[in-house]
Amino acid sequence: MPDISAAVIGTGFIGTVHIGALRRLGIPIAGVLGSSATRGADRAAALGVAKAYASLDDLLADPAVTIVHVTSPNVAHYPQVKAILAAGKHVICEKPLAMTAAQSAEMLALARASGLIAAVCYNTRFYPLNQHAHGMTKSGELGELRLITGQFHQDWLAKDTDWNWRLEADEGGPLRSVSDIGTHWIDLTSFITGQKPTDVMAELATFIPDRQKPLGPVETFTTATGATETRRITTDDAATLLLRYENGGRGVLTTSQISRGRKGLLTWDISGSKASAAWSGENPDALWIGHRDQPNQILLRDPSLMNPLGAAASALPGGHAEGFADTWTAFFRQVYADVAQGRRAPTATYAGFEDGHYEMQFCDAVLESARTGTWVTIR
Amino acid sequence: MPDISAAVIGTGFIGTVHIGALRRLGIPIAGVLGSSATRGADRAAALGVAKAYASLDDLLADPAVTIVHVTSPNVAHYPQVKAILAAGKHVICEKPLAMTAAQSAEMLALARASGLIAAVCYNTRFYPLNQHAHGMTKSGELGELRLITGQFHQDWLAKDTDWNWRLEADEGGPLRSVSDIGTHWIDLTSFITGQKPTDVMAELATFIPDRQKPLGPVETFTTATGATETRRITTDDAATLLLRYENGGRGVLTTSQISRGRKGLLTWDISGSKASAAWSGENPDALWIGHRDQPNQILLRDPSLMNPLGAAASALPGGHAEGFADTWTAFFRQVYADVAQGRRAPTATYAGFEDGHYEMQFCDAVLESARTGTWVTIR
Amino acid sequence: MPDISAAVIGTGFIGTVHIGALRRLGIPIAGVLGSSATRGADRAAALGVAKAYASLDDLLADPAVTIVHVTSPNVAHYPQVKAILAAGKHVICEKPLAMTAAQSAEMLALARASGLIAAVCYNTRFYPLNQHAHGMTKSGELGELRLITGQFHQDWLAKDTDWNWRLEADEGGPLRSVSDIGTHWIDLTSFITGQKPTDVMAELATFIPDRQKPLGPVETFTTATGATETRRITTDDAATLLLRYENGGRGVLTTSQISRGRKGLLTWDISGSKASAAWSGENPDALWIGHRDQPNQILLRDPSLMNPLGAAASALPGGHAEGFADTWTAFFRQVYADVAQGRRAPTATYAGFEDGHYEMQFCDAVLESARTGTWVTIR
Amino acid sequence: MPDISAAVIGTGFIGTVHIGALRRLGIPIAGVLGSSATRGADRAAALGVAKAYASLDDLLADPAVTIVHVTSPNVAHYPQVKAILAAGKHVICEKPLAMTAAQSAEMLALARASGLIAAVCYNTRFYPLNQHAHGMTKSGELGELRLITGQFHQDWLAKDTDWNWRLEADEGGPLRSVSDIGTHWIDLTSFITGQKPTDVMAELATFIPDRQKPLGPVETFTTATGATETRRITTDDAATLLLRYENGGRGVLTTSQISRGRKGLLTWDISGSKASAAWSGENPDALWIGHRDQPNQILLRDPSLMNPLGAAASALPGGHAEGFADTWTAFFRQVYADVAQGRRAPTATYAGFEDGHYEMQFCDAVLESARTGTWVTIR
pLDDT at D292 (0 to 100): 98
Query: What distance in Å separates the CA atoms of residue D25 and residue D336, rounded to the nearest whole number?
Result: 10
Q: Under an 8 A CB cutoff, do C295 and A298 touch?
A: yes
pLDDT at D171 (0 to 100): 82
**CA B128 to the chain's CA centroid:** 16
pLDDT at C224 (0 to 100): 62
- Altogether, the residues listed in chain C come to a count of 379
Q: D90-93 and D67-70: which strand pairing?
A: parallel
Confirm if C60 and C84 have CB atoms less than 8 A apart.
yes
In angstroms, the separation between the Cα of residue B241 and the nearest Cα of chain D is: 27
Q: Specify which residues D147 forms β-bridges with.
A: D250, D271
In angstroms, the separation between the Cα of residue D149 and the nearest Cα of chain A is: 20
Q: Where are the alpha helices (DSSP H) in chain C?
A: 13-24, 37-47, 56-60, 74-86, 101-114, 128-138, 169-172, 177, 183-193, 308-313, 324-341, 353-372
Q: Which whole number is the average pLDDT over C112-125?
A: 98
Local structure of residue C94 (DSSP, 8 states)? P
**pLDDT, tens digit, 9 for 90 and up, residues D182-233:** 999 999 999 999 999 999 999 999 999 999 999 877 666 666 668 999 999 9
pLDDT at A171 (0 to 100): 82
pLDDT at C170 (0 to 100): 86
Q: Which chains touch C (3 or more CB pairs under 8 A)?
A: A, B, D
**Closest partner CB to A294 (pick from C287, C288, C305):** C305
Local structure of residue B139 (DSSP, 8 states)? T
Tell me what the pLDDT averaged over chain D comes to.
96
**Closest partner CB to D158 (pick from C149, C288, C292):** C292
Query: What distance in Å separates the CA atoms of residue A31 and residue A40, rounded to the nearest whole number?
Result: 9
For CA atoms A341, A346, A351, A352, give the dihedral sign: positive
Q: Under an 8 A CB cutoff, do B375 and A375 touch?
A: no
Q: Under an 8 A CB cutoff, do D223 and A304 touch?
A: yes
pLDDT at A1 (0 to 100): 45
- Taking CB atoms within 8 Å and a gap of at least 24, the contacts of B76-79 are B76/B9, B77/B103, B78/B103, B78/B104, B78/B106, B78/B107
Q: Under an 8 A CB cutoff, do A297 and C293 touch?
A: no
Q: Specify which residues B287 forms β-bridges with.
A: B279, B299
Alpha-carbon distances, residue D163 vs B234, C271, D153, D220 (angstroms): 59, 19, 17, 9
Task: Please report residues of C whose CB lies closer than 8 A to that of A283.
Answer: none
Q: Under an 8 A CB cutoff, do B296 and D299 touch?
A: yes
**Closest partner CB to D23 (pick from A24, A300, A319):** A24
* Helices A13-24 + A37-47 axis angle, to 10: 40
**Closest partner CB to A23 (pick from D26, D302, D316):** D26
Nearest C-alpha in A relative to D123: A320
Query: What distance in Å separates the CA atoms of residue B336 and residue B29, rounded to the nearest whole number?
Result: 13
Q: Under an 8 A CB cutoff, do A48 and D1 touch?
A: yes
pLDDT at A221 (0 to 100): 67
Q: Where are the alpha helices (DSSP H) in chain D?
A: 13-24, 37-47, 56-60, 74-86, 101-114, 128-138, 169-172, 177, 183-193, 308-313, 324-341, 353-372
Task: Provide the residue-wise pLDDT of chain A in tens; the chain has 379 residues.
Answer: 458 999 999 999 999 999 999 999 999 999 999 999 999 999 999 999 999 999 999 999 999 999 999 999 989 999 999 999 999 999 999 999 999 999 999 999 999 999 999 999 999 999 999 999 999 999 999 999 999 999 999 999 999 999 998 999 988 889 999 999 999 999 999 999 999 999 999 999 999 999 999 987 766 666 666 899 999 999 999 999 999 999 999 999 999 999 999 999 999 999 999 999 999 999 999 999 999 999 999 999 999 999 999 999 999 999 999 999 999 999 999 999 999 999 999 999 999 999 999 999 999 999 999 999 999 999 9
In angstroms, the separation between the Cα of residue C219 and the nearest Cα of chain D is: 18
D296, D300, D306: which to substitute to probe chain B, counting the most B Cβ within 10 Å?
Answer: D296
Q: Under an 8 A CB cutoff, do B299 and D295 touch?
A: yes
Q: Which whole number is the average pLDDT over B72-93?
A: 96
Confirm if D311 and D296 have CB atoms less than 8 A apart.
no
**pLDDT, tens digit, 9 for 90 and up, residues C72-93:** 998 999 999 999 999 999 999 9
Instruction: Give the other-Cβ count within 10 Å of D105's Cβ.
Output: 15
Alpha-carbon distances, residue D379 vs C140, D103, D111, D351, D368 (angstroms): 44, 14, 20, 18, 12
A294, A297, A299: which to substitute to probe chain C, counting the most C Cβ within 10 Å?
Answer: A297
**Closest partner CB to B318 (pick from C20, C264, C322):** C264
Nearest to A261 by CA among B298, B295, D288, D296: B295
Nearest C-alpha in C relative to D208: C273
In angstroms, the separation between the Cα of residue A191 and the nearest Cα of chain D is: 20
Query: Residue D169: helix, strand or coil by DSSP?
Result: helix
Cα pseudo-dihedral D8, D14, D20, D23, rounded to 10:
-20
DSSP string, D197-232: EEEEEEEEE-S--EEEEESS---TT----S-EEEEE
**pTM listed for this prediction:** 0.96
Confirm if B9 and B80 have CB atoms less than 8 A apart.
yes
Nearest to C184 by CA among C92, C90, C283, C264: C264
Task: Please report residues of A whose CB lies closer than 8 A to that of C296.
Answer: 297-300
Query: What distance in Å separates the CA atoms of residue B274 and residue A260, rounded to the nearest whole number?
Result: 8
- Taking CB atoms within 8 Å and a gap of at least 24, the contacts of B309-316 are B309/B131, B309/B132, B309/B134, B309/B135, B309/B349, B310/B128, B310/B129, B310/B131, B310/B132, B310/B135, B311/B128, B312/B131, B313/B126, B313/B127, B313/B128, B313/B131, B314/B128, B315/C20, B315/C325, B316/C17, B316/C323, B316/C324, B316/C325
Nearest C-alpha in D relative to A48: D26
Nearest to B187 by CA among B17, B331, B7: B331
**Letter string b/e over residues B317-354, b meaning 16 or more CB atoms within 10 A of that residue's CB:** bbbbbbbbbbbbbbbbbbbbebbeeeebeeeebbbbbe
**pLDDT, tens digit, 9 for 90 and up, residues C207-231:** 999 999 998 776 666 666 689 999 9
Tell me what the pLDDT averaged over chain C comes to.
96
For CA atoms C255, C256, C262, C264, give the dihedral sign: positive
**Closest partner CB to B374 (pick from A153, A262, A374):** A374
Q: Specify which residues A203 forms β-bridges with.
A: A240
Confirm if C205 and C238 have CB atoms less than 8 A apart.
yes
Nearest C-alpha in A relative to B154: A292
Nearest to C327 by CA among C279, C289, C360: C279
**pLDDT, tens digit, 9 for 90 and up, residues B164-222:** 989 999 888 899 999 999 999 999 999 999 999 999 999 999 999 999 999 877 666 66
Residue pairs between chains B and D whose CB atoms are closer than 8 Å:
36
- Rounded to 5 degrees, φ, ψ at B337 are -65, -40
**pLDDT, tens digit, 9 for 90 and up, residues B220-232:** 666 666 899 999 9
**CA D317 to the chain's CA centroid:** 26
Confirm if B47 and C26 have CB atoms less than 8 A apart.
yes
Query: What distance in Å separates the CA atoms of residue D55 and residue D70, rounded to the nearest whole number?
Result: 13
For CA atoms C9, C15, C16, C17, give the dihedral sign: negative
Query: What distance in Å separates the CA atoms of residue D102 and residue D83, rounded to the nearest whole number?
Result: 17
Local structure of residue A358 (DSSP, 8 states)? H
Nearest C-alpha in B relative to D295: B299
Confirm if D206 and D174 have CB atoms less than 8 A apart.
no
pLDDT at B219 (0 to 100): 67
Q: Is the pLDDT of residue C200 over 80?
A: yes
**Letter string b/e over residues D217-244, b meaning 16 or more CB atoms within 10 A of that residue's CB:** ebeebbebeeebeeeebebbbbbbbbbb
**Letter string b/e over residues A94-109, b meaning 16 or more CB atoms within 10 A of that residue's CB:** bbbbbbbbebbebbbe
pLDDT at D222 (0 to 100): 65
Residue pairs between chains A and C whose CB atoms are closer than 8 Å:
36
Query: What distance in Å separates the CA atoms of residue A331 and residue A338, rounded to the nearest whole number?
Result: 11
Nearest C-alpha in A relative to B143: A260
Nearest C-alpha in B relative to A143: B260
Cα angle: D87, vertex D91, D94; to 5 degrees: 135
Q: B29-33 and B6-9: which strand pairing?
A: parallel
Q: A90-93 and A67-70: which strand pairing?
A: parallel
Query: What distance in Å separates the CA atoms of residue B83 and residue C79, rounded to the nearest whole number?
Result: 57
**pLDDT, tens digit, 9 for 90 and up, residues C236-288:** 999 999 999 999 999 999 999 999 999 999 999 999 999 999 999 999 999 99
Over pLDDT 70: what percentage of chain B?
97
Q: Specify which residues A276 forms β-bridges with.
A: A271, A290
Longest dimension (CA), chain D: 63
Over pLDDT 90: what percentage of chain B?
94
Cα angle: B103, vertex B105, B106; to 5 degrees: 65
pLDDT at A217 (0 to 100): 72
In angstroms, the separation between the Cα of residue B294 and the nearest Cα of chain D is: 6
In angstroms, the separation between the Cα of residue A331 and the nearest Cα of chain C is: 25
Cα angle: C247, vertex C251, C256; to 5 degrees: 155
pLDDT at A66 (0 to 100): 97
Query: What distance in Å separates the CA atoms of residue B285 and residue B263, rounded to the nearest whole number?
Result: 18
Query: What distance in Å separates the CA atoms of residue B128 and residue B149, rounded to the nearest whole number?
Result: 20
Nearest C-alpha in A relative to D223: A304
Tell me what ipTM this predicted complex has: 0.95
Element housing B130 (H / E)? helix B128-138
In angstroms, the separation between the Cα of residue A252 and the nearest Cα of chain B is: 7
